[in-house]
Amino acid sequence: MSMKIKFSPTRNSLLLSVLCIAPHLWTLQTLAQEYIPVETAGNALVLQADQHQDLKMIYFGKRLTSGNEYGQIPAAYRQSDDPTGIFNSAYTPSGSRNLVEPAITVTHADGNNSLDLRYVSHQSTKISDDISLLTILLKDPVYDFEVTLYYKSYYKEDVIEQWSAIRHKEKGNVILHKFASANLYLKGESYWLRQYHGDWAKEMEPEEARLTHGIKTLDTKLGARADLFQPPVFMVSLDHPAGEDEGRVLYGAMEWSGNFRFDLELDPTDNLRIIAGMNNYASPYTLAPNEEFTTPPFLYTWSDKGKGAASRQLQQWARNYRILDGKGSRLTLLNNWESTYFDFNETKLAELLKDTKKLGVDLFLLDDGWFANKYPRNDDHAGLGDWQENKSKLPNGIASLVKEAQNDGVKFGIWIEPEMVNPKSELYEQHPDWVIKQPKREEYYFRNQLVLDLTNPKVQDFVYGIVDGLFTKNPDLAYIKWDCNAVIYNAYSAFLKDQSHFYVDYVRGLYKVLEKIRAKYPKVPMMLCSGGGGRVDYGALKYFTEFWPSDNTDPLERIFIQWENSYFYPAITSSNHVTDWGKQPLKFRTDVAMMGKLGFDIVVSKLSPQDLEFCQNAVKTYNTVKQLVWQGDQYRLSDPVTSSVASVLYLDSVKTSGVIFNYLVNARYSAGSKLPIRLKGLDPAKKYHLTEINLYPGTGSPIDAGKVYTGDFLMNIGFNPQVRGGRASVVLKLDAL
Ligand code: GLA
């Protein structure tokens, strides 16, 4: 058997004829090796198409001054041999000579399971001054099957988004069993994984450990509310766990709001293979000839200056390119969830609208419980799906509340959970086929509810219609809190022919709805909520201005949750509400909520005059520092995990103004800030002074605002915020003279 395949590397336009004497036996003409660097301001990811057209990743790290030395990197290592030559494949196929975890696995139209992918060509396009897109075409020499790898790089931010597109022209369908977005390869002495797990009210709990040989998989199979137990972010440090300001570290995040999977494989040659993508669990995907299967991007950044720099890179990227209105403004608010739960009526809401104004925040957010009539939403057992105003609670509808809010000089926002349905609802009665459930099995509920089948275009229209209907009837509606409280049990779609497409198509359906909403309502702020932080990812944040990190608003807990989130997400995305959770005083709770987007969920009418005065002043103070928190560079100064004091600085880009939040996180006798806290990121030559702000009425500050310090002093010696029992939370404003 013989066949001819043309390879056309773009750079040297060399045509190569390949003679295949047997399906398993190749002779390949030797080609010049091709090096393909993806360079950003500080980093380089270098790929190599070798003489056999195997595409490999030979380097990811600090950018070298002289790019022509990249080719010398592989020879600098003296590791044991890789018998396959493709442990470092840039997109590892399976069923041919590969012996390690694949990025892609297929069954061809003829039933054969083998795949080989060889470099054909690449192309780099400049999208803007900052953004470039590298595409690399890989082809199977035997089957008419190809993959394009995409590397979208953001130069200034040192960030890469990587995904793949899979196509074929075989005589029949191909089944994709695994379909990763990216496949990376790192070399180090040892590898330290920082991963996260959680549950309701326990989001973002970190664990850090050395990776041993074999495969560590981080994944989720929950379908919706997919990150309840495991969020789609991680970091890997080389040689030792990276510090805040030193160490080599990779941050990774899947841009996907459903099942994801990260495989971290320490291979036989002691290098780390990372394979990231949608989870292939229960999802073999049938691909027709000429159809394209595009994976969601895997997002990553690299820093050789520790976790702080990596975070600032990612946060910068998120604000510049990802989060909806990332450079824009946000609304402060009063929410009624914890002050009323489901028990409210127009009179009560009228008072809350007045309280919103009294507090000085921008918006009132009406939470769960405003809808459904046949099965009224008076608790969480009924009504989800029936999005008509409840006539006994709101006889005059949302429209009258929006108007009343306007009369009071505040904006109005509303909670919805449009992907969900209670079995006790008219929607369930009318459209049982719209509900995800196994036809022959007993229903099983999460928070007494089920998930709607977003693979079905009719359901997509229904969900879109909920939002569109609200805005059409109430054009002045100013904010949406979009909740998603259930996982998917009994995954089955009455609409889909191929059930194994369910998990992938559910998320694609969700994105279709969100695309359509954003096409018509491009700017309306929306909070991404999921029974707390059960769905936080950069796939969804394209459509949302902010997310709800957790229902746990105990400020002590929040310090830790917000701290871990801050590695990956900028503060502007973090909706933080002052509530009655926890034992900390109101000031402590408010200070913590100010490290993001400030909101309140308290009974304003029950506040003491002093507490009310404090809250009103805090809103005013927040308005003076919010730009620093939202857009400033974040520096984590003192780690609550290892110290008694947590301290975080947000500094403007010209280093003239900042705000520092400091908290006591240890209740032991005499715990406090015994040592000065060293600031970061300042201009050493500038002179600064520090003023304590957000003081509780009637309390003074031991901080002398008249004292002047150089940036050099503050970064080398530091400043003591005098945090201790009785002064457990201290906010400092930093200003250059
Ligand atoms: C979820 C959210 C809460 C609240 C309730 C309403 O738990 O996280 O903030 O909106 O739903 O039922």
Q: What is the pLDDT of residues 441-457, one digit of tens each?
A: 999 999 999 999 999 99
Pocket of ligand 1 (CB under 6 A): 337, 367-368, 380, 415, 483, 485, 529, 531-532, 548, 551
Return the residue whose CA atom lies nearest to atom 9 of ligand 1.
551
Which whole-number Å values give the CA distances from 262 to 127, 242, 277, 469, 547, in the listed order?
29, 20, 7, 39, 23
Give the model's confidence band at 33: pLDDT under 50 very low, under 70 low, under 90 confident, else very high. confident
Give the model's confidence band at 690: pLDDT under 50 very low, under 70 low, under 90 confident, else very high. very high
Q: What is the spatial distance between Cα 386 and Cα 377, in angstroms, rounded to a whole number?
A: 9
Cβ atoms of 441 and 490 within 8 Å: the answer is yes
Give the model's confidence band at 634: pLDDT under 50 very low, under 70 low, under 90 confident, else very high. very high
- Across 585-655, the runs of DSSP E, i.e. the strands, are 597-600, 633-638, 645-651
Give the model's confidence band at 32: pLDDT under 50 very low, under 70 low, under 90 confident, else very high. confident
Cβ neighbour number for residue 486 with a 10 Å cutoff: 27
In terms of pLDDT, which residue wins out, 432 or 21?
432
* Residue of 379, 416, 420, 529 best suited for mutating to test ligand 1, as the one with most atoms within 8 Å of CB: 529
Return the residue whose CA atom lies nearest to atom 7 of ligand 1.
531
- Output the CA 530–ligand 1 centroid distance in Å: 7
Mean pLDDT computed over 107-119: 98
> Token pair of 327, please?
């450079």
- Output the CA 568–ligand 1 centroid distance in Å: 23
Unique residue bearing structure tokens 């949750």: 561
Return the residue whose CA atom lies nearest to atom 3 of ligand 1.
531
Q: What is the pLDDT of residues 160-193, one digit of tens each?
A: 999 999 999 999 999 999 999 999 999 999 999 9
pLDDT at 28 over 50: no
pLDDT at 31: 61
**Residue 649 β-bridge partners:** 635, 660
- Tell me the DSSP string of 684-698: TTSEEEEEEESPPTT
- Output the CA 341–ligand 1 centroid distance in Å: 9
Rounded to 10 degrees, what is the CA torsion of 678, 682, 683, 685?
-30
pLDDT at 23 over 90: no
* Residue of 341, 367, 546 best suited for mutating to test ligand 1, as the one with most atoms within 8 Å of CB: 367
Ligand 1 atom closest to residue 551's alpha carbon, by position in its atom list: 8
Cβ neighbour number for residue 280 with a 10 Å cutoff: 21
pTM, entire model = 0.95
pLDDT at 17 over 70: no
Max Cα–Cα distance, the chain, nearest Å: 91
Taking the mean position of all CA atoms in its chain, how far away is CA 308? 17
SS3 60: strand
Ligand 1 atom closest to residue 532's alpha carbon, by position in its atom list: 8
Mean pLDDT computed over 537-546: 98
Give the model's confidence band at 13: pLDDT under 50 very low, under 70 low, under 90 confident, else very high. very low
HEC secondary structure over 233-288: EEEEEECCCCCCCCEEEEEEEECCCCCEEEEEEECCCCCEEEEEEECCCCCCEEEC
Cβ atoms of 304 and 207 within 8 Å: the answer is no
> Token pair of 527, please?
């909070």
> Of the candidates 591, 582, 478, 575, which has an alpha carbon nearest to the alpha carbon of residue 533?
575
Return the residue whose CA atom lies nearest to atom 2 of ligand 1.
531
- Output the CA 126–ligand 1 centroid distance in Å: 43
pLDDT at 458 over 60: yes
- Output the CA 719–ligand 1 centroid distance in Å: 40
> Token pair of 604, please?
């304003």
Mean pLDDT computed over 697-722: 98
What is the distance between the terminal CA atoms of the chain, rounded to a whole angstrom? 80
Mean pLDDT computed over 550-568: 98
Give, as one character, the DSSP assignment of residue 297: P
* Residue of 199, 227, 337, 552 best suited for mutating to test ligand 1, as the one with most atoms within 8 Å of CB: 337
- Output the CA 330–ligand 1 centroid distance in Å: 20
SS3 672: strand
- Output the CA 596–ligand 1 centroid distance in Å: 19
Q: What is the spatial distance between Cα 340 and Cα 682, in angstroms, rounded to a whole number?
A: 45
Taking the mean position of all CA atoms in its chain, how far away is CA 449? 25
Residue type, 203: E
